Amino acid sequence: MKSSAKHAGGEIFSISSALLGGLFPVITVLTFRTLPPILTASIVTGLSALLFAGILTVTHGWGPTLSRADVRDIAVVALVIGFVYYALSFLGLRYTTPGNASIVSFMEVFFTFLFLNVLTKHEPFVPRHLVGGMCMVAGASLILLPHSSGWYSGDLIVLFAAMFPPLANAAAQRVRRRHVSSTYILFWRAAVAAPLLFILSRIFESSAPLSIDLTGIMLLLVSGLLNMGLSKMFWMEALHRMPVTKSLSVLSIQPLFTLFFAYIFLRQSATTVQLLSLVPMAAGMFLLMKRPRKMEIQSSNDLFNG
């Protein structure tokens, strides 16, 4: 009974994370009506840092003294995911639809497979991984090919962004193994990245018109506190309660939430190509992430979602 309740709690956290994650591209596109993309990334990242700081204060989580290795690895996470990944993701959303971005971003699973199984050989390669990789490439191709869904340059930017989190996940895993909390890592990731994103915005977006009203402020708060903050906490809680493969299978419904919210808030109907692409993408993700049970248990403790 206790195990069943824990698993049910994990499913609730996974669905909640998918719901907020699905809303994120839509809210972000709405903020672009008044603010440029990289400045938006800076503001919402800063807001998420405030949320994580509040959680650390309430839970007395400021205690750990970081070693030199901790500082080095957290810096890698902050620069690669907090700065490069989010700068590219927000920029990509400026030039594509939320639905396309949500679907293409799941190629992160494929690039994780390439990094762990092919390049570093950190995990064993099995035939189903090859099939899974081909499925994910096929699904993404339906979105990316010009004759399929209309060509958006933002799709390629989001695809390029998806290559970066796997490069930093190993650093995040090392920090977690040294008993540094995920909230602590998320705080420093956001606290370091936010000013860097602001500087980048001032360099490349200094001439962009700025106009913010009450609606824009509310959108920034939702994006920073819920999409960039609370959704990450829900994801980590899910991983503590159920195997990573099951958590990811639930999270795979996130693009459906994005397509739904895009229709509600932007009046963008899901295209046939978008719906068709979800089938091979979901199948490929399942095949790539399916592991023996003992590896699932280890992965659920180590995986760090960007």
Q: Which two tokens stand for residue 276?
A: 């068709």
Q: Which two tokens stand for residue 253?
A: 């419904």
C-alpha 137/C-alpha 272 separation (Å) is 18
Looking at residue 10, what is its pLDDT? 73
**Sequence-separated (6 or more) residues with CB below 8 Å from residue 32:** 40, 93, 94
Prediction pTM value: 0.82
* Residue length of the chain: 306
Looking at residue 1, what is its pLDDT? 47
Cβ-based burial of 147 (10 A; exposed 0-12, middle 13-18, buried ≥19): exposed
C-alpha 254/C-alpha 21 separation (Å) is 6
Looking at residue 295, what is its pLDDT? 46
List, for residues 161-209, the tens digit of each pLDDT value. 988 988 887 788 788 778 788 889 899 999 999 999 999 999 999 777 6
For residue 21, give the amino acid letter: G
For residue 217, give the amino acid letter: I
Q: Are 296 and 285 in contact (CB under 8 A)?
A: no
The three-state DSSP-derived secondary structure of the chain is CHHHHHHHHHHHHHHHHHHHHHHHHHHHHHHCCCCCHHHHHHHHHHHHHHHHHHHHHHCCCCCCCCCHHHHHHHHHHHHHHHHHHHHHHHHHHHCCCHHHHHHHCCHHHHHHHHHHHHHCCCCCCCHHHHHHHHHHHHHHHHHHCHHHHCCCHHHHHHHHHCCCHHHHHHHHHHHHHCCCCHHHHHHHHHHHHHHHHHHHHHHHCCCCCCCCCHHHHHHHHHHHHHHHHHHHHHHHHHHHHCCHHHHHHHHCCHHHHHHHHHHHHHCCCCCHHHHHHHHHHHHHHHHHHCCCHHHHHHHHHHCCCC
Tokens 């009203």: give the residue: 213
Q: Which residues of the chain have a pLDDT value below 70?
A: 1-8, 116-126, 129, 146-151, 209, 239-240, 242-249, 288-306
C-alpha 165/C-alpha 162 separation (Å) is 6
C-alpha 193/C-alpha 42 separation (Å) is 8
Looking at residue 195, what is its pLDDT? 97
For residue 6, give the amino acid letter: K
